[in-house]
């Protein structure tokens, strides 16, 4: 990997001030489970790496009001072991899907939200939009793991976060610190589909840091996450569905359905939510919701199977939540 300067500030302001406002010049090191591989592959070549390991304020998981506060540097293992997180079943189900002990021990919650795409074109140096000589490589190339929603160009990768769909379905927000202070946004607003090579897949400025994730109370909501995987260890899901249902008189009065690993962003499906409202949460309504979620899917030449996998993920998540 390229040589770089390493610093480990003791507070978030110092960390943000150490980051460059220009993309690619500096990088944030949390658990390192993603960044180190990017450095070794020369996909990222920062001149300075800013470690968050010494910032104690970024750690810990605790109740806050009626909700949950997750420090950005809390690990997946911390999340799974937290009594405060017990009411958030969909989030814990998503975390349990991360089975590698090394990733659970070192990977952080914020790091999971912000990991770069696992697209093999991106990881092999063809850029976020996977182009060679100005031509998109994905549509006519190896695309069986690529997007089936939000893929009308120029981005075809899928968002790699395991935890984002569950957090979005739970209405979670993130606090973000920069040199000028802090701001808060929904987890959903953390992501975007890049339209050019100059954009990244998240909306953070290069000198901003996620400091914590705040999850509202889950009281009154039934939640579940279902993942479809090719292998159970050291792998990413092929499709994920996280649902949050509010029931009234045995019927769904409100629904949130968020799909993962099928689009360049965690994909909230208003179609599936509409299909569920007023229905009992069971296999039949789950099938309808799954079909509705995939109504606008545009599979590529090799990934049509992902449409069926995502349909099944929605059906089973609805059944688990019901």
For residue 259, pLDDT over 90 is answered with yes
Share of the chain above pLDDT 90, in %: 95
Provide the pLDDT for residue 87.
97
pLDDT per residue as tens digits for the range 132-156: 999 999 999 999 999 999 999 899 9
Q: Which domain holds residue 233?
A: 1-322
Which is it for the CA torsion 217, 223, 228, 232, positive or negative?
positive
Mention every residue, 6+ apart, whose C-beta is less than 8 A from residue 119: 130, 138, 145, 146, 156, 157, 158
Look up the CATH number of the domain holding residue 152: 3.30.465.10
Pairing of strands 67-71, 209-215: antiparallel
Average pLDDT taken over every residue of the chain: 96
Mention every residue, 6+ apart, whose C-beta is less than 8 A from residue 217: 65, 66, 67, 87
HSE (side-chain half, CA atoms, 13 Å) at 302: 10
pLDDT bracket for residue 232 (50, 70, 90): low
Residue-by-residue DSSP string for 172-240: -EEEEEETTEEEEEESGGGB---SSTT--SB---TT-EEEEEEE---TT-EEEEEEE-S-SSS---SEE
Number of independent structural domains in the chain: 1
> In the structure encoding, which two tokens stand for residue 112, read together?
């999971």
pLDDT per residue as tens digits for the range 29-73: 999 999 999 999 999 999 999 999 999 999 999 999 999 999 999
Alpha carbons 90 and 73: distance in angstroms, whole number: 20
Question: Residue 55: which of 68, 72, 76 has the closest Cα?
Answer: 72
The residue behind tokens 């092929």 is 238
Asked whether the beta carbons of 266 and 191 are under 8 A apart, the reply is yes
Provide the pLDDT for residue 233.
62
Alpha carbons 283 and 8: distance in angstroms, whole number: 51
The residue behind tokens 């949050």 is 244
pLDDT bracket for residue 230 (50, 70, 90): confident
Mean pLDDT of 163-188: 97
């Amino acid at each position: 990997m390229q040589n770089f300067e390493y610093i480990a500030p003791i507070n978030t302001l110092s960390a943000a001030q150490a980051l460059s406002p220009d993309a690619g010049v500096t990088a944030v090191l949390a658990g390192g489970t993603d960044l180190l591989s990017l450095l070794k592959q020369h996909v990222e070549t920062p001149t300075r790496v800013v470690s968050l390991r010494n910032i104690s304020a970024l750690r810990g998981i605790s109740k806050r009001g009626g909700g949950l506060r997750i420090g950005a540097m809390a690990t997946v293992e911390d999340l799974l072991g937290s009594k405060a997180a017990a009411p958030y079943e969909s989030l814990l189900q998503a975390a349990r899907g991360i089975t590698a002990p090394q990733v659970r021990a070192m990977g952080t919650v914020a790091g999971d939200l912000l990991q770069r795409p696992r697209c093999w074109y991106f990881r092999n140096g063809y850029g976020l939009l996977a182009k060679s000589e100005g031509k998109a490589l994905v549509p006519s190339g190896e695309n069986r793991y690529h997007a089936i929603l939000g893929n009308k160009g120029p981005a075809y990768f899928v968002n790699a976060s395991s935890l984002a769909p569950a957090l979005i379905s739970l209405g979670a927000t993130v606090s973000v610190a920069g040199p000028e202070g802090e701001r808060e946004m929904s987890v959903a607003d953390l992501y975007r589909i890049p339209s050019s090579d100059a954009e990244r897949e998240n909306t953070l400025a290069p000198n901003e840091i996620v400091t914590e994730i705040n999850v509202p109370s889950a009281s009154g909501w039934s939640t579940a996450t279902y993942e479809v995987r090719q292998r159970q260890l050291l792998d990413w899901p092929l499709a994920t569905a996280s649902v949050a249902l509010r029931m009234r008189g045995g019927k769904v009065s409100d629904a949130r359905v968020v799909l993962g690993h099928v689009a360049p962003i965690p994909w909230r499906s208003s179609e599936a939510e509409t299909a569920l409202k007023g229905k009992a949460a069971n296999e039949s309504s789950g099938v309808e919701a799954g079909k509705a979620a995939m109504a606008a899917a545009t599979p590529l030449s090799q990934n049509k199977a992902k449409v069926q996998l995502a349909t099944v993920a929605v059906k089973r998540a609805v059944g688990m939540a019901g």
